[in-house]
Amino acid sequence: MKKLGICGDSFFASISFNPKNLDNGHDKHFTEILAKKLGWEVITFARGACSNQTIRLQIDEVIKHKPDLVIVGTTTPDRFEYPINHISIENYRDKIYDKFRELGYKEQNGLSNIDYLNYPDKSGEHEIFKTNKSFLFSETLNNIFFNNQPTNYLKNYDIEVLEKWYDRFYDFQWKTQTDTWIISDGLRKLKEKNIDFFCVSSFLFENQLSFSDNKIINVNSPLNPNNYSTHNSSSPYRFHTTLEDQKLLAELWFNYLNEYYGK
């Protein structure tokens, strides 16, 4: 059976089964519907609120499953990773030392560095998230600032510091540039592995992805799930659209793949 790999944020994330909430959207995401129409197995690492950096790690992980095709959904540049554990330092150089590096990101653990278990997304069911310890949390600044409430790993003080950093040191276009480079590297790796893919470029600099030829789905494409959310802002489902839109997306992708997959 062929395998369909999925990478992305909440727009691309299917939902785990929940016996306490049978109407949570489980088994109704367009990627699941699409896989059934194709007769393929779907392997998803998409997770809500994650950054393009985490999506880049998703690409590495999905490659290990030897997919026949990967759909990569990109996300907004207002997202980043921060350490789960706050380790106080007296001097900024302290975090260069080994004892601090041991308490953070592990290159060899890849995507499992990112906390997936605190999300209801199906991707969190992969064994790597249960066996490896996560050190980072991937989150959107919008979620943090809009809620303006302590989270699992951030206190009120942390949010105040983050707001000051954002006001003074964050540039949206520069972050878009670095995110474009990061995703470009992932697409090049898929090409090197001879894995076919399509990448939905919602916020990146598409002109810098031209090396991917016809594999880039642009921001205005009807294949882009982001284009269905504004019309259904009251949708109860985590993937931001109605079930009708998910069925429509699956049909559009099915027709598109019949025409362009493998070409």
Interval 103-113 mean pLDDT: 93
β pairing state of 216-217 and 196-200: parallel
User: In the predicted model, is pLDDT for residue 102 greater than 90?
Assistant: no
Among 226, 246, 224, CA closest to 28: 246
Q: What pLDDT does 194 receive?
A: 97
User: In the predicted model, is pLDDT for residue 101 greater than 80?
Assistant: no
**Cβ atoms of residues 239 and 246 within 8 Å:** yes
β pairing state of 79-83 and 136-140: antiparallel
Single-letter code of the amino acid located at 9: D
Q: What domains appear along the chain, each with residue ranges and CATH number?
A: 3-141+171-260 (3.40.50.1110)
User: In the predicted model, is pLDDT for residue 52 greater than 90?
Assistant: yes
User: In the predicted model, is pLDDT for residue 32 greater than 80?
Assistant: yes
Euclidean distance between the first and the last CA atom of the chain, given in angstroms as a whole number = 20
Among 61, 98, 33, CA closest to 190: 61
Q: What pLDDT does 259 receive?
A: 93
φ/ψ region of 125 (left if φ > 0, alpha if ψ in -120 to 50, else beta) reads: alpha
β pairing state of 79-83 and 3-7: unpaired
**Whole-number average pLDDT of the chain:** 93
More confident residue, 110 or 237: 110
User: In the predicted model, is pLDDT for residue 148 greater than 70?
Assistant: no
Q: What pLDDT does 98 receive?
A: 63
Q: What is the CA radius of gyration of the chain?
A: 19
- Percentage of the chain surpassing pLDDT 70? 96
Task: Give per-residue pLDDT as tens, 194-211.
Answer: 999 999 998 999 999 988
Measure Cα distances from 16 to 20, 250, 262 in Å: 12, 19, 30
Confidence of residue 100 (pLDDT cuts 50, 70, 90): low
Measure Cα distances from 51 to 7, 9, 79, 178, 254 in Å: 11, 7, 5, 12, 27
Which helix (H) or strand (E) segment holds residue 57: the answer is helix 52-63
**Cβ atoms of residues 143 and 49 within 8 Å:** yes
d(CA 28, CA 26): 5
Give the pair of three-digit tokens for residue 217.
Answer: 């789905």
Interval 38-44 mean pLDDT: 98
User: In the predicted model, is pLDDT for residue 180 greater than 90?
Assistant: yes
Q: What pLDDT does 218 receive?
A: 93
Q: What pLDDT does 179 receive?
A: 98
**Angle subtended at Cα 1 by Cα 117 and Cα 73, rounded to the nearest 5 degrees:** 45
Cα torsion through 263, 200, 53, 120, rounded to 10: -110
User: In the predicted model, is pLDDT for residue 30 greater than 70?
Assistant: yes
Range among 63-77, 95-109, 132-146, 199-213 with highest mean pLDDT value = 63-77
